[in-house]
Amino acid sequence: MELSKHSNEKKFNGFTIAEVLITLGILGVVIAMTLPSLIGKWQKI
């Protein structure tokens, strides 16, 4: 039982590379969608 406890602890200690890449990808898409409208509003001011 101790082995499974250690493997569970390692699983939740940090983020995997895949999780970080997915998060950055989602953020990139959101930023790419919002920047054009923000730039358009700034140019009108």
| pLDDT at res. 8 | 53
| pLDDT at res. 28 | 97
Higher-confidence position of 27 and 37:
27
pTM of the model: 0.57
Q: Buried b / exposed e across 14-29, counting CB within 10 Å, b at 16+?
A: eeeeeeeeeeeeeeee
**What amino acid is encoded at 39 in this protein?**
I
Higher-confidence position of 36 and 9:
36
Higher-confidence position of 19 and 38:
19
| pLDDT at res. 30 | 96
Domain spans of the chain, in order of start: 2-44
With vertex at residue 36, the alpha carbon angle to CA 32 and CA 37, rounded to the nearest 5 degrees, is 120
Encode pLDDT of 2-24 as tens digits.
Answer: 555 555 555 567 889 999 999 99
